[in-house]
Structure 1
């Protein structure tokens, strides 16, 4: 079953490109991609000196040299010749805005970016794209071996808009024969002591309430009643708590969704998702967004 048709892959001319190209190849068939746009965006398209030393033949203008370099890498890693590809190098004062604008123009369904663990780089572009992209985003980590997921963690708050991401999660878990594990992060509210209950007692009350919310959610939308894990946030931070849980259960992908309450909110992630993206550079993440619901707000955003 096809999920996405057109993908945009962001490259930065570091060794992360080699990793990302190899991992993207693994995902092509599963994602249902027909066309790939390989894009490099920078404030200045001058070819770095270290690359010129290795490739003195790159004497053409910066954009042509970079495009030639990317095409060489695709050939080196046997990128499927049956796949329609387009390679471009773009210059922009604000790389994030330039990249997102190109994603809109090309009407892509998914953006694929790398997340670095040891390779130099801030990762700010990937995080910005994950937050603001008008389509789904797949973040593939540097150190993780290439491969499709077999255990997918899906953080959830059981609100109505979570229905979309659960439906998508069930589809891909069936196709991949992968285990789907819902996870809910709950907290003990401030002021619990005024109730006369201990911290532990009130934590149990919050957990029972979360279980009831999950049961109602499953019944309302007709989802499969798989076991949900309830995680008490002990103050280490919501993102870190979810990442720790993902590692503890052996998840090899985290599936997230946008807030989706309105057209304006659908394009942006919730605060918990943003925190998880900020701390996670070890596990692949697929951020699913219903593209059609975000375009109106995105078009307005570009005019600001």
Structure 2
């Protein structure tokens, strides 16, 4: 796969870095990564005392000391020499803005971020990057065992933009010999009782309609045998519904895309993707964005 030749990996100088580096190494060849940038962004690059205790020889300025720690980590986990590496640390009052600025400067195709489950940290930077990044994002979870996915869940609403996500899902599933599972959430509209039909009856009608939409959606794709799973929306938010279903079917990756209706929409994710990012700290997630479709908006954003 040649979609992601340049990747930017965010490190935070915690145990999560160990997890993230090991898992990133597994994805390098598959994703086609040729150059990997490792960045640590903080409001203050002063070295914490516990790190100084572990690295007593550090005497360089903050940014150089942090970079030395990051390089040591890469060496410790035998990061492949076949991949070009650049390491840098940045200080700024607004870490999210700084991180996104470097993603743009380096013109990366993919951002790799970690999601913590038990380790200390709010994850706010990772969630902010996922929502506003100008390129695709791979979010790797703390507790998930390392390994390439065998079952990829792909939420879809059968919109025109979803064709791109579906095609990408088909391709990565084929190249990894993994199973792709499209998932659609349908709902019973308010006022259904006025039709004289019960909730169950109208639910069956809406599901059949969704199934018809999927058949029409598949007409633009080569593989007509991929079966879609349909979930009735009741009270939960879509993000919670999708995460629960992914766990139920034992998916080990979720592939979701930006809406793509406009340049700004491609940058700022749709509500379902945002909800999923907010609740999902268990299953690796690849948020696919077509690089370049949002560059104009992204450049304008940094001129404000």
Q: TM-score, normalised by structure 2?
A: 0.98
Could you tell me which residue of structure 2 aligns to residue 139 of structure 1? 139
1:21 aligns with 2:16: no
Pairwise CA RMSD of aligned residues? 1.0
Matched, 1:95 2:95: yes
SS in 1 for 2:219: helix
- Aligned mates of 1:64, 1:224 — CA distance in 2: 54
SS in 1 for 2:59: coil
Deviations 1:160-202 (CA, angstroms, capped at 9, x unpaired)? 0001111111110110000000000112222222222211111
**Number of equivalences:** 304
Deviation at 1:225, TM superposition (A): 3.3
What SS does structure 2 have at the residue aligned with 1:293?
coil
Residue in structure 2 matched with residue 274 of structure 1 by the alignment: 274
The aligned runs of 1:1-304 (5 Å cut-off) are 1-304=1-304
> 4+ residue runs of structure 1 moved beyond 3 angstroms?
220-225
- In 1, Cα distance between the equivalents of 2:167 and 2:124? 30
Structure 2, unmatched stretches of 5+, are none
Q: How far off its partner does 1:286 sit?
A: 0.3
More displaced stretch, 197-206 vs 115-124: 197-206
Alpha carbons of 1:223 and 1:158: their partners in 2 closer, same or farther (altered >3 Å)?
farther
* 1:132-169 deviation per Cα after TM superposition (whole angstroms, max 9, x unaligned): 10000000000001100010000000000001111111
Residues 63-112 of structure 1 deviation map (CA, whole Å, 9 limit, x = unaligned): 00000000000000000112110000001111001000000000000000
8 Å CA contact 1:151, 1:179 repeated in 2 = yes
Q: Distance in 1 between matches of 2:130 and 2:223?
A: 27
